Structure 1
């Protein structure tokens, strides 16, 4: 399936389309996961959903991974019912087959546009009908546009062809009532002073090589104007306010590992933005929180917990871009996927995992050597350690790759760095279709 957000008839909308060129548009487990993610985006941001339906239903060889569980295919229709209750418009254009459970996709929509000749909606197709009842019937007779528009009432608009159907979808979208927009501080948008193409030369190939995140901020925000918060305190985390495509945002960007002071700075900054109703943008390039005897005695765990608590309980829209490393608990503190960002993207160079490949290999070698020592055996010689180390590094690097991540839907896509500003602008605009609910403001217990 293909999915995305764009402007349709002058308003932000979410578009979800089956791809009939791949296995007849049948639904795979990841296809279900993708649809559920898009529905979550629609509900969080109150976006109209435009479905372009052309699917043969579930991919039967993998039916056990698609059908029975709470986050499988049935959840799609459950979410459709919830979205209808939430007054989120759903429009489906039936361009091809809507078979079996897929027939409920248009049936549970507010508006159904049906293309003659190619579009068909039925719980059981002609082969199944013949096998079950002995009746011979064509797809058009069983579930075609004329039958459903004229007889059953399942479909609402009769379209001559795909182009006609898409025009009807646009016409319906144009007539949808506007949501009352959430209000945040805005001003006319202006371009950054610095060329975004400079980013290609600023960001190093290796995520372990440091650079100043302010260089990225200067090429993303309006007029390259950035009011930094606590510049001299907790310098490994940069926090501050700026405007992005005319919208005020609070930015957090990593300039190294997180210490207690940087975690406390982040906690205060996130709470300020939450109280003021200012969306948060996280630029992740983080290896984690500092470890070691001195830092444990200094309370790094409880200070890191405060930052994670603040991220988890903030009510403003959050947006995350992984611009480099995203390792360990640093992923949590910088608003990883589990912490409810409205959107999360990765740059092509990004890496994600519990830790880097080198560190993972060293930990496992250390564990193995400790085991051998307890058994009274000699530790592994250097050549054996190297032989064990390389496969671990290779596997960790493969699974931490941005393309591996996006193929598993751990993120919402890979961004070209120079397009990040524009994508963030569209995402912030889309998020404002949902109200900001300050009634939920607050936080859990902070361990002092």
Structure 2
């Protein structure tokens, strides 16, 4: 293989400027992550401990194998909304008894773990990842049920969570539930539809309707234990498969369940058992991406700090040079890489990408998309050369490719370039964003300028004088709006990615994802749609 040579100069002013800009964005990310970890606040966490209960992340830590990594997903969900950052649930992937599992843990310190629209979206995304990658799912349940003020937004789509659980089971992907407290109303169906159910004596309460509602509906006086207590479900209803004495015992039983699954990965193991790390310092990733998104950077400098031993066999290096494509390995797994080099995608780049994607599918090789694109080139020359059909060619290939896709937005992800480079709408197995990245229909200045031109033409058509002062105010307002709505934290808060990551963690995050992906089969497409040539 070819070893990449780095020409990066950490002493250069541009490097230092880029690094400072990224560190500022990382500080914002750290603040948002602190809010998520804070849950319902110090008093709520202290109250949970006073009751002899563990916090959501403490439960996860005990469940995971000792010193094992945990890839938390959508950690800043609900950022910038009226709901707490983190959306009252923690989701992520980690090994339990050596088996990579999807873990979903209610955070009871936030409104009793009640489900709001963003926690529902976050939970559904976790279920989607578990199904697509064949990851056993473990639910750590303690929830007050639906957040009633927002029931209109969650009641009907919320039923999909239960449907997804049964579909996992039908696909022989095991599901385990540990009930730590309340699992009321719809929440009762989480254990009800799981393959393995653990309840905790004198703690778990699982019922469709609590004592007050039963009294209102039927006139019956019922107490919590006889209506839905753990001992009742273990001895009478049969809903509980195991009765734990306390929370730690419940987690022990969950690990026992996973140990007895006889679970095996269906995908191929890493080609290299002990892969060599990149030859260049990952700390330097902070200074590569341009602080000004209009300024391109060489993605080979990123690739050299992510792939094993910085080895990369470039495909068509002299053709379609605004897109870098090639082969390498990451933590021992073979991968194909597509990375934007000059932002704009031209005709040749689209054709090159389509061929490369076909080759990856023929070789059953996962693809990594490193986004930094302003979209496909526009203008008379490029329209006449067929930019639409060539862009469609690339998007067709991305849409119908069946090898796993991993996407990282390193800078810009605008227009149809977002689609061609496997944005969220194209179902990458995982999608992560660097803190400096942005994504929108187009850049703020361009969008405001388009609106200005349209308004100016409309005024001219009506014979009216154009108000330049109002135009300037409009452009400023639009630019500020797009700037705020295209930022990494804003988009991650709305689950348009699976998390904003520190650039220095890119190799580790992608490696954890590749390992999870290979729990299932890795197989390329047998055919594609009609390519318009």
Shorter-chain TM-score range: over 0.9
Alpha-carbon distance in structure 2 between the residues aligned to 1:171 and 1:417: 36
**Aligned residue number for residue 139 of structure 1:** 224
**Aligned residue number for residue 90 of structure 1:** 175
Deviation at 1:322, TM superposition (A): 0.6
Q: Does 1:304 align with 2:409?
A: no
> What's the CA shift string for 1:354-398, capped at 9, x where partnerless?
0111111001111100110110112332x3322111110111011
Q: Mapping of 1:24-423 within 5 angstroms?
A: 24-68=112-156, 72-183=157-268, 186-188=271-273, 189-256=275-342, 257-381=344-468, 383-423=469-509
> What's the CA shift string for 1:17-70, capped at 9, x where partnerless?
1111111111111211111111111110000000000011111111111112xx
Stretch deviating more after TM superposition (116-125 or 180-189): 180-189
Alpha-carbon distance in structure 1 between the residues aligned to 2:220 and 2:124: 36
How has the CA–CA distance of structure 1 residues 180 and 197 changed in structure 2, closer, same or farther, with 3 Å as cutoff? closer
User: Counterpart of 1:158 in 2: which secondary structure?
Assistant: strand
Deviation at 1:81, TM superposition (A): 1.4
Higher RCO (CA < 8 A, seq sep 6+): 2
Give the CA RMSD over aligned residues.
1.2
Stretch deviating more after TM superposition (169-178 or 414-423): 169-178
Given that residues 139 and 177 in structure 2 are in contact (C-alpha distance below 8 angstroms), is that contact kept between their aligned partners in structure 1?
A: yes
**Aligned residue number for residue 2 of structure 1:** 90
**Aligned residue number for residue 512 of structure 2:** 426
User: Counterpart of 2:222 in 1: which secondary structure?
Assistant: coil
Length, aligned pairs only: 443
Residue segments in structure 1 that go unaligned for 5+ positions in a row: none
Alpha-carbon distance in structure 1 between the residues aligned to 2:234 and 2:152: 34
Alpha-carbon distance in structure 1 between the residues aligned to 2:264 and 2:126: 19
> What's the CA shift string for 1:269-310, capped at 9, x where partnerless?
111011000000000011000000001011111111111000
**What TM-score results when the alignment is normalised by the length of structure 1?**
0.97
Given that residues 184 and 248 in structure 1 are in contact (C-alpha distance below 8 angstroms), is that contact kept between their aligned partners in structure 2?
A: no
User: Counterpart of 1:112 in 2: which secondary structure?
Assistant: strand
Deviation at 1:96, TM superposition (A): 1.0
Given that residues 313 and 441 in structure 1 are in contact (C-alpha distance below 8 angstroms), is that contact kept between their aligned partners in structure 2?
A: no
Deviation at 1:185, TM superposition (A): 6.5
Deviation at 1:140, TM superposition (A): 2.2
Residue segments in structure 2 that go unaligned for 5+ positions in a row: 1-88
Deviation at 1:175, TM superposition (A): 1.6
Extract structure 1 runs of 4+ deviating beyond 3 A. none
Stretch deviating more after TM superposition (136-145 or 165-174): 136-145
Given that residues 120 and 158 in structure 2 are in contact (C-alpha distance below 8 angstroms), is that contact kept between their aligned partners in structure 1?
A: yes
